[in-house]
Chains A and B, each alone.
Chain A
Amino acid sequence: MKNNLTRHDGAGRGNLVLGIFALFLLYLLYSSGFFTAAAWQDFNRRFYQNFIKDRRYMMLVDGLKATLFMTSGATLIGLVVGLILSVIRVAYKGGAPIPVLNAMANAYITVLRGTPAMVQLLIWNFTIFASARNLNTQYIAILAFGLNSGAYIAEIFRGGIEAVDPGQMEAARSLGLSYGTSMKLIILPQALRTVIPMLFNEFIALLKETSVAGYIGIDDLTRAGQNIQALTLEHSQPLVMVAIIYLVIVLFLTHVVRKLEEWLSRGRRG
């Protein structure tokens, strides 16, 4: 029994935290008089006002569409940019004579990782694309978030490649494979094991990051909640609903990552 309580595996601690959180929520609800009939009726009335009346839930659905569209688009751009950058950096380390490209890639990663995504978004929309009027603002957001995410993804790729034991490359080269072939056939497939789960995490981070898109006039999920607030003058319910929607998506993605990790590590020794 004692052993069970003191073990420090992820699941046990996770359940403990969840339990505390649930108790805390229940206490908050109880202390705010939530479990009385009148409060329940009031809650239902406000729920109807916020989400059901005039099909207001469609505002959230449209917002969710925008959020997912931006996140997916940005991830695609991020993958391409990240792949190019990491190839440059790894190749330079592997002896390729490309100091200028490497310096540029370094500068890119430093600047885009060193400034907030929201500031970058504002600069893209109001400075760089100042005169682009007929361009859908969502595309500007995709570009801004994608290029930002590219810098992070580049580091994920590089980390994944460098995490592969250097002996693998040495062995492949000593068997007579060229640098490129050994990269393609030996290193990259092994790197993918660590990279793919981290890419999903980046996707999750990006999903939450896009919540600042309202600043350049995109009605994303967060902004949709705010629009409902402005409509019904109710503060808590729309935001909590938005939070729940984000959480459900993130939980789903986390589940996918976990399954993926299991699948990727099948047949791995140890």
Chain B
Amino acid sequence: MKKFFIALTVLFLFVFCACAFGAEEAKLKTTDQLKTERLAAQRGTVGQFIAEDLLGDNKSLLLTTYEKYTDAVAALRQGKVRAIVMDEMPARRFLNEVDGLAIMENALSEENYAIGFRKGNKELVEAVNKALAEIKADGTLDKIFEKYYTTFLTGDASSIKPEDIDFNKGAKGGTLVVGTEAGFAPYELKVGTGFIGIDVEMCAAIAKKLDRELVIENMNFDALPMAVSTNKVDMICAGITVTEERKENMDFSENYVVGAKQVALVRADDYEK
């Protein structure tokens, strides 16, 4: 019986200690303050690179990288980190669906998204660029953006069903295998056994132009460059920002999103405008 009570006491002490941490900190006001704060980012994203630049020498101490955005958001809400550096649209989707979050007013940078290819895969890059230009010109792409921005950023996203997206099944030109990380709404999201999202519908439209069947491979974001360079997938499309560093290891299509902001997602009660 004695042992039982000792074990219980130790457990309770442990819980008490875990709950007791949480000293008051001054509220965040400007993005300059982030230079000395605990930040989070998804591993391998541009958000991570920006956070590293912001923190400088402190990055090993203050930056936590997570495999999934949901983990980062949980860490933010629990106060393990004070801000997540991430793309604006997914941040706004979190804002729409999770209580108690805010986005800091000044953006940290502006980026362009493009589709990534294995270095030297010129044939496919040209074909995709042509298809991309066509869907840009006939308004298909704008319609896709419109559809997702209205549902994910302001309304209820469950109206979009994966079955409604035409993957061009049984096309004569073979398959077009696209690698993505389906936890990045509104760009890509796994719903049931299917996928939805701006990138998914855009790739479906491109696949149709190329007369190929779209196949989605859902991977971790930091595994995507590896997958495309080893030819596991034909191209990767996951809201991927074009950077000089990435250009050295892969080829990019024309941009399909220009001026996507990188923002700091914070807790609403921790932020003073």
Interface residues of A (CB under 8 A from B): 5, 16, 19-20, 23-24, 27-28, 31, 53-56, 58-59, 62, 125-127, 130-131, 133, 137, 214-217, 219, 226-227, 229-231, 233, 235-236
Contact = CB atoms under 8 A, between A and B. Distances in A.
Contact of B219 (A58, A130, A216, A231): A216
B192 A130 contact: no
Contacts of B73: 233, 235
B214 interface: no
Given A229-B68, A231-B191, A130 B230 contact: yes
Interface residues of B, number: 40
B135 to A, nearest CB: 26
B98 A217 contact: no
A235 B232 contact: no
B133 interface: no
A133 B11 contact: no
Contact of A233 (B1, B94, B182, B184): B94
Given A131-B231, A227-B183, A214 B220 contact: yes
Given A133-B177, A217-B179, A226-B70, 7 more contacts: A16-B4, A28-B15, A131-B231, A226-B183, A227-B182, A227-B218, A233-B98
A235 B219 contact: no
B74 interface: yes
Nearest to B2: A5
Interface in B73-102: 73-74, 94, 97-98
B190 interface: yes
Contact of B70 (A24, A59, A219, A230): A230
Contacts of A24: 11, 15
Contact of A131 (B11, B74, B190, B230): B230
Contacts of A133: 177, 231-232
Nearest to A223: B218
B15 to A, nearest CB: 7
A132 to B, nearest CB: 8
B7 A20 contact: yes
B8 interface: yes
B62 to A, nearest CB: 22
B189 interface: yes
Contacts, number: 91
B158 A54 contact: yes
B12 interface: yes
A241 to B, nearest CB: 14
Q: SS class of chain A's interface: helix, strand, loop or mixed?
A: helix
A214 B68 CA distance: 12
Given A230-B68, A230-B182, A231-B190, A217 B218 contact: yes
A54 B97 contact: no
Nearest to A24: B11
Contact of B193 (A28, A53, A58, A217): A58
Given A20-B4, A53-B158, A214-B220, A231 B189 contact: yes
B207 interface: no
B134 interface: no
B191 A54 contact: yes
Interface in B1-25: 1, 3-4, 7-8, 11-12, 15, 19
Given A55-B192, A217-B218, A230 B69 contact: yes
A184 B203 CA distance: 59
Given A5-B1, A54-B158, A215-B220, A130 B231 contact: yes
A43 to B, nearest CB: 16
Given A5-B1, A54-B158, A230 B71 contact: no
Nearest to B12: A27
Contacts of B69: 230
B70 A233 contact: yes
Contacts of A233: 70, 73, 94, 97-98
